Amino acid sequence: MKKSFSTTMIIIGTVIGSGFASGKEVAVFFSRFGTISYFFIFLSFFLFFGIIYFFLSRGSHALEKLTSSKFFSALCLLVSLIFTSSMFAGTFEILPQQNSAKTLLMALLVVICIIVAKRGIKSLAFLNNLLIPATITSMAVVLLSNFEGAKAASFHQNGFAGLLFALLYSVLNFSISGVVIAQSGEKLTKKQKAGVSFVSSFLLSSFLMLTNCVLLSNPEMIGQDMPLVALSSGVAAALIKFVVFSGCITTLFSLVWTSRLALKRFGVNFVMSIAISIFLPLGLSMLGFGSIVSFLYPFASIVGAGMLLFLFALPKKC
């Protein structure tokens, strides 16, 4: 039970980053397509389940095959760095505006990233077990406080494009986190892996659905960099800032570990890997959170889709 809980928290922690928690990813990949986005999110549940169960069941062997290629390792690193820059950018936007406080908190965050890069999955499990339950509870409160019923938006875009974006969204969130998922589920039984896959997929798709309902009820928020932050007020405003911050750092830690593993395969020493996996995306984050999610995420998801297709095509005895 403890192992299943820890693995579920790790999976959610790798996905519930700044884009998910702030509502920006939901707006870009679902809500802007109008009413039909409800169906796409329902479809995403099955995509989530299949991908998570694949990584828990076959991920370790498949990833060994994948990472034996320097080309695929380089692609993995590229996508991971894009996501890492987004997490840093989201953290920048949510931190206090006082320069001294922001500098101190970012310095502390960088130190923790270095520790995670050094210690790996044990540090991830500890941090996610601590933060994710509080994050899930807070996000539920925020969404329910802004929920006004499932209303259809008055705008619609091409439904076929929406289907493509739903597929891209699924691979966007798991193409890189698959490394962490595979490692976290190595000691689970087959039944536990199925249970973890279901619970993780159900929680993630439920939050997607509720967030989509809130955004379609407030379509003027869909274009905001952080829709749920812009929409919330009072206690909900404080809670959503905690959710975004927690989502940023838990996803950030997973990405730093993933980048560190990719760089290790290229023979990069620890100091240089820290510079590349942490300080390079920190500089890239200056592009801004909204720009990274709107323009770099779709590109990264296409690259991730190619990697996932390669993994799924591998024979079981790879």
- The residues spanned by each domain of the chain are 2-312
Q: What is the DSSP letter of 286?
A: G
d(CA 138, CA 146): 13
Helix axes 121-146, 190-217, angle to 10 degrees: 40
Query: Which top CATH class is 2-312?
Result: mainly alpha
Q: How wide is the angle at C-alpha 28 spanned by C-alphas 262 and 311, nearest 5°?
A: 35
**This prediction's pTM:** 0.79
If residue 86 lies in a helix (H) or strand (E), which one and from where to where?
A: helix 70-94
Q: What is the pLDDT along the chain (318 residues), one digit of tens a residue?
A: 778 998 899 889 888 876 688 888 898 889 888 888 899 999 999 999 998 998 888 766 666 665 667 777 788 788 888 888 988 888 887 777 667 777 888 888 888 888 888 877 677 778 788 888 999 999 999 998 888 765 555 555 566 777 888 887 887 777 667 777 877 777 888 899 999 999 999 999 999 999 999 998 888 888 888 899 889 988 998 999 888 888 888 888 888 888 888 888 888 999 999 999 999 999 988 888 778 877 787 777 777 777 767 666 655 554
